[in-house]
Structure 1
Amino acid sequence: MSTVQPTRLAPNLIEHFYRGGDRIAALRGIEQRSAFQPEEWLGATVSRADQEPGGAIGLAKTLDGVLLRDLVAADPAAWTGAGTDHGTSAADTGILVKLLDARQRLPVHVHPDRAFAASHLDCAYGKTEAWFILEAEPGSAVHLGWSEDVDPDELDRRRDAQDSEWMLSRMNRIVVERGMGILVPAGTAHAIDGGIFLAEVQEPTDLSILLEWSVTTSTREQSHLGLGFDTVMGAVSTKALPQAELEQLVVLHDLDTRTDAPVSLLPAAADPYFQLFAVAPESNGTSPVDAGFSVALALGGDGSLVSETSGDTVAFTAGEVFAVPAGFGPWTVDGTGTVLVAGPGAGWPATLTAGGIR
């Protein structure tokens, strides 16, 4: 495996239909140029779906302007340790990470699972995702899953009528707070209130089924992945998500806690899809983050990423983002910083093959 260093990534703000982005700009130490830059895609080697084929919107770049996708594709063994024998592109890192700063409510929507994506979209990944709350205005909430079984025919009628109130009134509402991690299984209807700033980790696709397009700039015909609603609604669960199951999708972590071991920030059920850790050393040196591709975001403080293999160090300050290659080996954090570390699921990429979670 080649030895390569963590690479600083340039800001990658995304224009979108909804307002927000000021908290991203403040964290990253950059200027917000539009009131409609509510997302930043971190370490992305996949691009947004709603553009011409071959479009580059969403793709992460280094400070020198080089696409991370091209770096990974040129040396996948060094970057991911996975080679190219797992049935996806050489640039596949197994994960997509975003910052999302919503100043208005996002629509009710659903993402397909891997089985649906494989059979209908020729894609190895669905879009299970998770949210980690960085800031939230008092009383702001997310909506996750149905609180009661929903009749599929009734849902079709309410979707066509764009009856937002009906949909939201039948969803579980979770008031969020800083440090909360929430898993959103594929197939589960969900929405996010305005006032929430979060880090989102997900499978590396941009596949969304809009049940509520009227609050976006999309049309009905842009809301069903090009498959038609008769087909795509097969990816949408209409079963209730009971309270007991809902509680298993939510965990809470005190982001001010410092410990010399990486701390998982998501429910255990997320592990096959992606992993997210907080690394906030109490003293110099931490238990290492395992070798493998990861995206590292310095939430605060400063310090260094230190390779356990080579002893190489890469300094960081608050707001910086790095793509960390597998070839850096296991690594630790020195200093006063708090670093969010996101990586592909446990066992990736074997989980994409028969016998895995696909």
Structure 2
Amino acid sequence: MIPVLLPPNPVQHFYRGGDRIAALRGIVPETDHQPEEWLGATVSRFGDPRTGLAITADGEILRDLVAADPAGWTGPVRGRDAGDVGILVKLLDARQRLPVHVHPGRGFAVEHLDCPYGKTEAWYVLDTEPDSAVHVGWNTDLDRDELDRRRDAQDSEWMLAHMNRVVVREGMGILVPAGTAHAIDGGIFVAEVQEPTDFSILLEWSVTTSTREESHLDLGFDTVMPAVSSDRLAPEQLAALISEVGTAPAGTRFRSLLPAAADPYFRLWDAATLGTRTSVRPAGFAVVLISEGAGEFVGGDGRLPVSQGQVLAVPHSFGDWTVEGDAAVLVAEPGAGWPTTLATAELR
């Protein structure tokens, strides 16, 4: 089985953006509110069974292809169901600040959402405007009653003032553990890798098109707020969530772009052929973005010409693979040990 080429899959959203996705993927945006593209997605938007699902050039839903041949796509391992590939990948191009929000952890999802996955995620910065920042975790311990009051008052200024502000640059990787409050400034373009869900708790809905009643996963704030950490994220803890590996030029050997703490959840690699070939990636499901140049994708099942802006869903049955030519690639894979790691989730 050869990799499947995935046509652009832009997603309409409340916030502005998407021009850098369109430029990379070679399309003309339909509106200025298509700031996300879901790459190789076999899960959809929360409460919407279709939006976000990856579709092939032949009009087939990738999830259905995986479910029809799980051994071919994910090998001897199985996730929560036959269509599960253990990861969700997005391009996110924000031209306005995203709201302060939180994603629940696996234990909460098992208990309340009938799902083994939470939504730990990570960002890899592809491009950014000067002085644009991400906001990750609280910079002081918060009183939970105070947090509830500020949430209900939609006190954006208070929330942002109590968060760690991190100015980003191209090539930075930032891990956002489940339970951690976070937001992204306008001007930042990232590749986002995450657990395969769309679970979000909005602490700040007033800057979105959502209402208070659409901000708590249909569970009520009394139920979801225990999934939100109110603890300080100390400087040394924040530093451990940031990788600078990608700020240096890529070589032919695949390198990990995220902190080691991301490995149980997902992995993100890059490499460049430099006119020869990359090192070998082992067989397994992967979502691959050709970020620059052109070349050939080479595996045990054949060769496939590739060029900048293309996205591939790579099946396990393609075998070990490499890239030849003059290209750079970004590779997202399920976490190390997936899916056995799902059984080790801790309750939050």
Q: Residues of 2 paired with 1:322 and 1:283: CA distance?
A: 21
Equivalence for 1:293? 285
Report the equivalent of 1:58.
Answer: 52
CA distance in 2, matches of 1:139, 1:260: 31
Of all paired residues, the percent bearing the same amino acid is 63
Letter in 1 for 2:53: L
Match of 2:72 among 73, 78, 82: 78
Q: Is the 8 A contact 2:106 2:345 kept in 1?
A: no
Contact 1:83 1:90 in 2 (8 A): no
Structure 1 residue 357 displacement after superposition: 6.6
1:319 is matched with which residue: 309, 322, 329? 309
Deviation at 1:282, TM superposition (A): 3.0
Residue segments in structure 1 that go unaligned for 5+ positions in a row:
none
| Kept after mapping to 1: 8 A contact 2:133/2:166 | yes
SS state of the match for residue 91, structure 2?
A: strand
1:276 deviates by 0.3
Cα RMSD of the aligned pairs, angstroms, is 1.3
1:266-345 pair list within 5 angstroms: 266-307=258-299, 309-310=300-301, 312-345=302-335
Is 1:209 matched up with 2:201?
A: yes
Letter in 2 for 1:59: L
Contact 2:122 2:192 in 1 (8 A): yes
The answer (yes or no) to whether the contact 2:5–2:311 under 8 Å persists in 1 is: yes
Counterpart residue identity of residue 8, structure 2: P
Letter in 2 for 1:39: E
- TM-score computed with the length of structure 1 as normaliser: 0.95
CA displacement, residues 175-231 of structure 1 (integer Å, 9 cap, x when unaligned): 000000000000000000000000000000000000000000001011011111011
> Deviations along 1:33-77, whole A, 9 cap, x unmatched?
1010000000000000143xxx31100011111100110000001
Structure 1 residue 254: Cα displacement: 4.3
Amino acid at match of 1:300: E
Give the distance between the partners of 1:152 and 1:292, measured in 2 at CA: 43
Q: Which residue identity does 1:63 align to in structure 2? A: A
Q: Is the 8 A contact 2:77 2:339 kept in 1?
A: no
Q: Deviations over 1:74-132 (max 9, x none)?
A: 00010011454x4x111000000000000000000000000110011111000000000
Query: How far apart, in 2, do the equivalents of 1:211 and 1:145 lie?
Result: 13
Report the counterpart of residue 124 of structure 1 in structure 2.
116
Among 9, 13, 16, which residue is 2:10 paired with?
13
Which stretches in structure 2 are left out of the alignment for 5+ residues? none
CA offset at residue 287 of structure 1?
A: 1.6
| 2:173–2:246 contact (8 Å) kept in structure 1 | no
| Alpha-carbon offset, residue 277 of structure 1 | 0.3
Say which of 36, 39, 52 aligns to 2:36: 39
Counterparts of residues 91-130 of structure 1 (less than 5 Å): 91-130=83-122
**Aligned positions, number:** 347
Contact 1:272–1:357 (Cα < 8 Å) also in 2: no
**3-state secondary structure, aligned to 1:337:** strand
Check conservation: 2:278, 2:323, Cα contact below 8 A.
Answer: yes
Asked whether the 8 Å contact 1:142–1:190 carries over to 2, the reply is yes
> Which position in structure 2 is the counterpart of 1:69?
63
1:218 maps to 210
